[in-house]
């Protein structure tokens, strides 16, 4: 199939381009390069032996998206494009609604006009909010607790309305848990601009000497070692989840929400120790106050993904750490 990846030069988009390319799909990447650069395209080409098509542009440019759907004979869209920093979304909610919600509406207008009605949307476990029980399954009530999360929830609801209105739409909202790691080659990975917000890139930057120590945000949570627990998923497992979701959508109209996680939670200290073990290095750390807005623990029920998509995550926490380190050592 011919697949359009909005936000395709970003972290998850680039790994998914590899997984789709290796499964025989043709991929076209659309990106405004607000949080990525074009160097990744050569690297994808190096891995899959074929250069994906790239269009520099904004998903909110409906006319451009219509044109590229026609020119590239697009059959389905995976919609990654969006802003994703929680703190920034609290400070600049209008930017977040404009990019994430308006961007999706514009994409839907283009798709509708060109009669392309298969869509995978990058949603997030953040839509669940404070856990009422764990693991989160897809029936857990949704109540996002910050503007970023609410953009994801609004988009899921918009997509639900669209699928209800017209039975030829096929929509899967994939609720990612905590994607980490890099492609096994070390050629592509996650390069956050500025100080990383997330744990794994921060650990990697301490390991490579860019930062002196990891601040562990809180050691007094009601978890086994007192530090926060999350469901980390290798980005290549996540990418392969998209390939499975595309197969699933084929011929199956309607809307669905599916968790992409491993079902296994690890604490901050466990991740840090896994990184030290996998890469033979020491990570200096200090206990710091809790980060505002953080939850103590959450992890996925991965049953629905297994049942519907026939997919489950395969790669271990050590592989997540080893691939992150390999990527950092390539000097990217
Ligand atoms: P990323 O920032 O690396 O990738 C997003 C890409 O979208 C970037 O390349 C950026 O330049 C592009 N982009 C942003 N706005 C655009 C626009 N208006 N038009 C065109 N391109 C635009 O982020 P990522 O980690 O790859 O995340 C991809 C998607 O997955 C996002 O929607 C994010 O909210 C979602 N998600 C990410 C995580 C995570 O931890 N990384 C977790 C849950 C959900
Ligand atoms: C964060 C976002 C979430 C988003 C997810 C994507 C917030 C409040 N939440 O979640 O919406 O979907 O990223 O991956 O920003 N930690 C440290 N020191 C650090 C960084 C993190 O101790 O320098 C701890 C955190 O307190 C947390 C764990 O590591 O317990 C994971 O943090 P992070 O990688 O930022 O992910 P989330 O908090 O799950």
What tokens were used for 127? 């839509």
Higher pLDDT, 320 or 191: 320
Mean pLDDT for the chain overall: 97
Q: Which of 275, 294, 321 to mutate to test the pocket of ligand 2 (most atoms within 8 A of CB)?
A: 294
pLDDT digits (tens, 9 = 90+) for 214-263: 999 999 999 999 999 999 999 999 999 999 999 999 978 999 999 999 99
Torsion sign over Cα 249, 252, 254, 258: negative
Q: What's the gap in Å between 286 CA and the centre of ligand 1?
A: 30
- What is the distance in A from the centroid of ligand 1 to the CA of 10? 6
> Any catalytic annotation for residue 232?
no
Q: Rounded to whole angstroms, how far apart are CA atoms 228 and 96?
A: 26
Q: For the chain, how big is the Rg over CA atoms in Å?
A: 19
Q: Is the pLDDT of residue 70 over 90?
A: yes
Q: Report the pLDDT value the prediction gives residue 215, as an integer from 0 to 100.
A: 98
128-148 average pLDDT score = 97
Count Cβ atoms below 10 Å from residue 160 Cβ, excluding itself: 16
Predicted pLDDT of residue 251: 78
**Strands 266-267 and 229-230: what pairing?**
antiparallel
Residue-wise pLDDT tens digits, 156-185: 999 999 999 999 999 999 999 999 999 999
pLDDT at 193: 87
Query: Is residue 196 reached through a cis peptide bond, with omega within 30 degrees of 0 on the bond before it?
Result: no
Q: How confident is the model at residue 71 (pLDDT cuts 50, 70, 90)?
A: very high
Q: Which of 297, 233, 221 is nearest to 262 (CA)?
A: 233
Decide if pLDDT at 332 tops 70: no
- Nearest ligand, CA of residue 88? 2
pLDDT score of 143: 96
Top mutation candidate among 127, 151, 198 for ligand 2, by most atoms within 8 Å of CB: 198
Q: Say what the pLDDT of residue 195 is.
A: 92
For residue 142, how far is its CA from the centre of ligand 1 (angstroms)? 21
The 3-state DSSP class for residue 328 equals: helix
pLDDT digits (tens, 9 = 90+) for 197-219: 999 999 999 999 999 999 999 99
State the ligand closest to the CA atom of 16: 1
Three-class DSSP category at 215: strand
User: Residues with Cβ < 8 Å from 248, sequence gap 6 or more?
Assistant: 172, 308, 309
For residue 331, the surrounding DSSP H or E stretch is none
Q: What pLDDT is recorded for position 145?
A: 94
Of 194, 166, 238, give the one whose Cα is nearest residue 11: 238
**Cα 52 from chain centre:** 20
User: 166-187 b/e with 16+ CB inside 10 Å = b?
Assistant: eeebbbbbbbbbbbbbbbbebb
Residue nearest (by alpha carbon) to ligand 2 atom 4: 126
Tell me the percentage of the chain whose pLDDT exceeds 70. Answer: 99
Query: Which residues' Cβ are closer than 6 Å to ligand 2?
Result: 86, 124, 126, 178, 197-199, 202, 214-217, 228, 230, 268, 291, 293-294
Residue keyed to tokens 């200090």: 286
Residues 6+ apart with CB under 8 A from 57: 30, 31, 32, 64, 65, 68
pLDDT at 81 exceeding the cut of 70 = yes
How many CB atoms lie under 10 A from the CB of residue 195? 10
232 CB near ligand 1 (under 6 Å):
no
Going along the chain from its start, the domains and CATH numbers come out as: 2-181+232-262+299-314 (3.40.50.720)
């Amino acid at each position: 199939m011919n697949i359009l990846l909005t936000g395709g030069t970003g972290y998850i988009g680039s790994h998914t381009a590899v997984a789709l390319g290796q499964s025989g799909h043709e991929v076209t990447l659309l990106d405004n390069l607000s949080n990525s650069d074009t160097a990744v395209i050569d690297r994808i080409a190096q891995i899959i032996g074929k250069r994906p098509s790239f269009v520099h542009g904004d998903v909110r440019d409906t006319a451009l998206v219509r044109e590229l759907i026609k020119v590239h004979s697009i059959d389905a869209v995976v919609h990654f494009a969006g802003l994703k920093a929680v703190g920034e979304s609290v400070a600049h909610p209008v930017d977040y609604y404009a990019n994430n919600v308006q961007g999706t509406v514009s994409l839907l207008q283009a798709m509708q006009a060109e009669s392309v009605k298969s869509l995978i949307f990058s949603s997030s476990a953040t839509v669940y909010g404070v856990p009422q029980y764990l693991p989160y399954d897809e029936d857990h009530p949704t109540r996002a607790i910050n503007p970023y999360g609410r953009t994801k929830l609004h988009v899921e609801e918009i997509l639900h309305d669209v699928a209800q209105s017209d039975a030829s739409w096929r929509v899967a909202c994939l609720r990612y848990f905590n994607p980490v790691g890099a492609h096994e080659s070390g050629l592509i990975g996650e390069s956050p601009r500025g100080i990383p917000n997330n744990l794994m890139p921060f650990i990697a930057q301490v390991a490579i000497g860019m930062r002196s120590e990891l601040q562990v945000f809180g050691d007094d949570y009601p978890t086994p070692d007192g530090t926060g627990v999350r469901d980390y998923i290798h980005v290549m497992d996540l990418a392969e989840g998209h390939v499975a979701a595309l197969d699933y959508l084929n011929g199956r109209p309607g809307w669905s929400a599916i968790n992409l996680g491993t079902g296994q939670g690890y604490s901050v200290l466990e991740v840090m120790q896994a990184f030290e073990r996998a890469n033979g290095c020491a990570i200096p750390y200090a206990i710091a106050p809790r980060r505002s807005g953080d939850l103590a623990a959450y992890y996925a029920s991965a049953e629905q993904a297994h049942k519907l998509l026939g997919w489950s995550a395969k790669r271990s926490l050590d592989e997540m750490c080893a691939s992150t380190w390999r990527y950092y050592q390539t000097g990217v």
